[in-house]
Structure 1
């Protein structure tokens, strides 16, 4: 197994085989049951015979390294967040997804049906990830900045005009625009013609950059009122684009997170997670986290500052369009006690599948 984290390599080198086995057993027991593991129980699990006293000495050393802790006096040990990260980086074995698991994913996302709306595909992917992980399935769809095909100004009264905007996807948006005083019908036509000549087939950002590049030509081609109309028309399109194509998050299976949650602190953390999921401003940041790596990213507890208050873990992978540009992300949100080895290949394959489907 190749370890990519240099800190994990250094830490692993400080542990002898006995310490590694004890640490691995504590973490695997936690991921399986969530319960602390004591020295007597450990002595029955280890492949070599060790007394509870010897195990306690090793556990004390592991505590000193910050890898495990005792939640209560005289209790067994649980892994710390640092310990979980170390386990994921140095011990976890991630294999290929089994063929039957791939078939199950493809069946639930209905890959055999063509020409379905992307929104339906993403919702199915989120639902599938939730069901197969017992966590919350997460899909983020990036803003789709469509190209502009046509713009037209229709005067409603002396102070207002209707801006008709047609996108490259044939989507029509209508917006009311305030008119500057003294605008004539010919100036409305002139401004619309100018925009259509410069914006056809371009995105909003590309149009703005092009007009900035041709600033001198714009000033000579249009009078002050017509230039004002052009700016107002661009502003109207920006508003329509923002309203119809904003980044969105699809979360399914929040009820799964309620399972095995006790009252008090755990329930408070879950409430914080639900609050954090509603914060739309976090979506772009989560997208950038997914985009920062070429494959699956794992964020444990406070490593993920978006959901750090709730102490949740996030496993996320980007999906891409035909130009290999990241346009979204899929993943799982859950407690730190996730079956990482099982979920990582599942998220990875789902991201590949969604990439393939959105390119059709």
Structure 2
């Protein structure tokens, strides 16, 4: 299995040449630096690397290779005389060229299937999304995120509440318990009784229907409506189910497990990074825009650090995959946000599998 990734960014032509010319020994030392960082978050020195190598190599020789890797822009020394850490360019190169994707265990696959299907019982789409976000958070120890097209829920009740002579509030109550309020301009001269009549007419016909289906229903019974109601009340009925929602198709963002990101902090710099990430997550529009970029391709997308403007300050990564409805239309994206030292080999297949399970549920349970 492979992950579809963003193109490496930030490499100068000389760095690109240096990366292309890396020999097997240099690649192995680079792999050890990255895997050590992903495991501990700490710089690794030449002596430790020399102990890890299958082929014997002196610490001095390892240091020479590290210098070449630093020249290529793949690693850096956070302090004088310290070991090395991968740069964002180095992480991108590792993910694109060297990452070995693991498998989701049978136990984890079963857990994902059972929890997702239980949450989706009764066609409760939002519960399934929230469960996907919480589950990814728990399995990855990062923050689970889901962004999805807001569904058109099935209606239970509609009511018109007059605010002033020229405006009313349309209150739409859905079967899932959600309530949506919309402002409606009233025709001049509309009597108070018309609001009650319009509500009664709709409530006799819309229960269990989506708003789109309710619109079709009013068109289908237009002749009956005009016979039963006066012209102004008929106009009110049509207007009550014709209002656009939030200017058209809207998106909802669900984030779970932010507290996981506070675990295993190594230094004050880590705490500042998480503080900035929390600020990023509160900027919902930017998070939704970033996740929407993952809809551009098939499979899993990986965004590392400053490759996207949203995480440029917090130094975080996002692993995300789209999911589809029964018509094979992409209706959302789910993923994991965390530090750049995410366990990519474990999280990539987990995100991919969860997206596929959610897609199957939305396609009708296959």
- Does 2:71 align with 1:64? yes
- Does 2:23 align with 1:19? no
CA distance in 2, matches of 1:142, 1:4: 23
Mark the runs of 5 or more structure 2 residues left unpaired by the alignment. 200-208, 217-230
Instruction: Provide, for residues 150-175 of structure 1, a one-character-per-residue CA deviation record: whole Å limited to 9, x for no partner.
Output: 99978787434454769999988564
Aligned length: 336
In the other structure, the counterpart of 2:129 is 122
User: Normalising by the residue count of structure 1, what TM-score does the alignment of the two structures yield?
Assistant: 0.77
Mark the runs of 5 or more structure 1 residues left unpaired by the alignment. 193-199, 208-222
Q: Secondary structure at the match of 2:121?
A: coil
With over 3 angstroms needed to count, the CA separation of the structure-2 counterparts of 1:245 and 1:166, relative to structure 1, is farther
With over 3 angstroms needed to count, the CA separation of the structure-2 counterparts of 1:179 and 1:301, relative to structure 1, is same
In the other structure, the counterpart of 1:342 is 346
- 1:54 Cα deviation after fit: 1.2
With over 3 angstroms needed to count, the CA separation of the structure-2 counterparts of 1:24 and 1:162, relative to structure 1, is closer
CA distance in 1, matches of 2:262, 2:183: 46
- Does 2:336 align with 1:329? no
In the other structure, the counterpart of 1:197 is none
In the other structure, the counterpart of 1:141 is 148
Q: Secondary structure at the match of 1:270?
A: helix
In the other structure, the counterpart of 1:33 is 40
- 1:113 Cα deviation after fit: 7.1
- 1:20 Cα deviation after fit: 0.9
With over 3 angstroms needed to count, the CA separation of the structure-2 counterparts of 1:127 and 1:54, relative to structure 1, is same
Q: Secondary structure at the match of 2:309?
A: coil
CA distance in 2, matches of 1:15, 1:270: 34
- 1:14 Cα deviation after fit: 0.6
Q: C-alpha root-mean-square deviation of aligned residues, in Å?
A: 4.2
With over 3 angstroms needed to count, the CA separation of the structure-2 counterparts of 1:99 and 1:156, relative to structure 1, is closer
CA distance in 2, matches of 1:276, 1:358: 30
- 1:99 Cα deviation after fit: 2.4
Instruction: Provide, for residues 259-289 of structure 1, a one-character-per-residue CA deviation record: whole Å limited to 9, x for no partner.
Output: 1214532211111111111112124313321
